[in-house]
């Protein structure tokens, strides 16, 4: 029930943010979500025994994100900052040098992981149609969230009520094959609803490809986060969103699906 209430409350608000305002408000929302997700990932890593450099990692993640929307900022700015500053901070911190590689690598990976994948979420919002320059990003962003959330809801409710066969028991014992199939079907259904509602330019083949691709990659993204939580010995990354745990629990599928939608649009839809 909490999942339904969260969706009912948040979906109209998100629609207004994406469709009725310019990109700036959405980008600010994604920056906040990225920092929260970054903190949750560092929390998981620290529960697993790593000493993470949180504030420098946040700076790296934000610089990487900015490079996706502002051509004046190149991706290598954030990468260089991380590669130089994080080892120096481990050197200054001292302690057990045997763990230095793990601490530096974990801090850097989490920062770049967060910055790049949230970067695709913000890049989607600024997509425009060439050569006319018509704004397209708001439709793509809402399409992404609509399909992924439709998949997530279908997978959760079918899996919890009808699921019998474990999907990946060593990673997430509660996820089932029946739930995964329902998730892909839910993504397909959401794609066709989006075509009839707000994304008329989608063709039937687009709905099928995006429904299957985003449904599958979303499930895999969810399993990756489950793997990280299991490695840290934690059930949820946090408890911010009612019925969903932390921000990371809510956006894990979106983070993996965003690049898929972006490149599908770029190479399949935009060319038409």
Instruction: Note whether 108 and 82 are within 8 A (CB).
Output: yes
Residue 25 banded pLDDT, cuts 50, 70, 90:
very high
Q: What is the per-residue pLDDT across 136-171, written as a single tens digit (0 to 9) for each?
A: 899 999 999 999 989 998 998 899 898 889 898 888
Indicate if the pLDDT at residue 243 is higher than 60: no
Question: Dmax over Cα atoms in the chain, in whole Å?
Answer: 60
Residue 130 has pLDDT above 60, yes or no: yes
Confidence of residue 122 (pLDDT cuts 50, 70, 90): very high
Name the domain count of the chain. 1
CA–CA dist 167, 180 (Å, integer): 8
Residue from 264, 253, 170, 182 nearest 217 by CA? 253
Q: What is the mean pLDDT of residues 99-106?
A: 92
Tens digits of residue pLDDT in 199-236: 999 999 999 999 999 999 999 999 999 899 888 877 66
Residue with tokens 């990487």: 64
**Alpha helices (H) along the chain:** 2-20, 23-47, 54-67, 75-93, 100-125, 137-162, 177-197, 204-232, 247-264
The Cβ of residue 96 has, within 10 Å, a number of other Cβ atoms equal to: 9
Tokens 């962003």 belong to: 141
How far apart CA 234 and CA 255 sit, in angstroms, is 21
Q: Domain of residue 13: give its range.
A: 2-269
């Amino acid at each position: 029930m909490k999942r339904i209430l969260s969706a009912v409350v948040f979906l109209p608000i998100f629609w207004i943010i994406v469709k009725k305002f310019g990109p700036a408000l959405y980008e600010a929302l994604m920056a906040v979500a990225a920092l929260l997700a970054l903190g949750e990932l560092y929390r998981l890593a620290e529960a697993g025994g790593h000493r993470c450099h949180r504030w420098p990692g946040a700076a790296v993640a934000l610089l990487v994100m900015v490079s996706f929307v502002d051509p004046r900022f190149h991706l290598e700015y954030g990468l260089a900052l991380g590669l130089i500053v994080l080892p120096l901070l481990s050197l200054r911190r001292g302690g057990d040098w045997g763990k230095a590689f793990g601490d530096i690598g974990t801090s850097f990976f989490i920062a770049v992981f967060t910055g790049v994948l949230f970067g695709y979420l913000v890049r989607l919002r600024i997509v425009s149609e060439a050569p006319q320059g018509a704004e397209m990003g708001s439709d793509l962003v809402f399409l992404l969230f609509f399909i992924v959330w439709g998949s997530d809801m279908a997978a959760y409710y079918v899996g919890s009520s009808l699921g019998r066969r474990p999907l990946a028991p060593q990673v997430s014992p509660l996820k089932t094959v029946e739930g995964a199939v329902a998730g892909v079907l839910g993504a397909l259904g959401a794609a066709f609803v989006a075509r009839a509602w707000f994304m008329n330019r989608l063709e039937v083949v687009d709905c099928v490809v995006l429904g299957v691709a985003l449904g599958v990659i979303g499930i895999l993204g969810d399993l990756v986060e489950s793997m990280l939580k299991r490695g840290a010995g934690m059930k949820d990354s946090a408890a911010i969103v009612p019925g969903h745990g932390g921000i990371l629990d809510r956006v894990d599928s979106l983070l993996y699906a965003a690049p898929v939608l972006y490149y599908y649009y770029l190479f399949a839809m935009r060319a038409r």
